[in-house]
Amino acid sequence: MSTNLTQAITANRLSDGFVVYLTAQDQWSERIEDCQSADDPRSAETLFARAQHHADSGQIVGPYLFKIVRDGGHPVPLSRREIIRTTGPSVGTDLNLK
């Protein structure tokens, strides 16, 4: 596994609460594999500004940067919180929300 740390943006989609990741196409994806990453503080700041614009327009809520490593080109979250968020809901999957 690479030791080169990068950051990505995650948030929750306002329409349904799903965890989403900001992509290079300035869209939101439910797949961490689609996330755009930033390798330095300036790029991370720019990425966060893009996400904040989406929050200000009401598409998402609570955007923040989180640390990842790239393993074979795939993003791998480092914190326990983000590992859990990438695997989906840990409770309440029987709520039948649509």
Say if residue 1's pLDDT is above 70: no
Distance CA 87, CA 89 (A): 7
Over residues 40-62, mean pLDDT: 96
Assess contact for 60 and 53: CB atoms under 8 A.
no
Summarised one tens digit per residue, pLDDT across range 72-96 is 989 999 988 998 888 866 665 565 5
